[in-house]
Amino acid sequence: MKIVPLATPAAPAAIGPYAQGVSCGELVFCSGQIGLDPTTGELIAGGIEAETRRALANLAAVLDCADASFASLLRVSIYLVDLGDFTRVNAIYAEALGEARPARSTIGVAALPRGARIEIDAIATRRAPA
């Protein structure tokens, strides 16, 4: 199967030697998204809530360019600098994903790129044809 790099201007450009995501057959692998504004490339202000919303919006944009969505998520990993933010992040995550309930891990980390407080990566499948 061919590996196809994913790229969309609706999510921040990769800040290293990697793609925003890749697809292979029906699977979609999304690189970690932090709360970067896709237009400016800067980390947004507003704390963990704002960063979580922006990271989820960035993830949604990458999924969309691969014809996937939160409803087609299989696995999500959330990386938090402060596990004390778990409850606030979980509430925003639940609101964004609606009825979707993919497998998930939440991992405490010492630091993230650009001073971010959260990073989210995911594996999904493409949407079923209508």
In a domain, 130, yes or no: no
In a domain, 8, yes or no: yes
Is the pLDDT confidence value at 56 over 90? yes
pLDDT score, position 128? 58
pLDDT in tens, 108-130: 999 999 999 999 999 999 975 55
pLDDT in tens, 37-53: 999 999 999 999 999 99
In a domain, 41, yes or no: yes
Residue ranges making up the domain that contains 10: 3-125
User: What's the CATH code of the domain at 35?
Assistant: 3.30.1330.40
Distance CA 24, CA 125 (A): 10
pLDDT in tens, 74-104: 999 999 999 999 999 999 999 999 999 999 9
Total domains in the chain come to 1
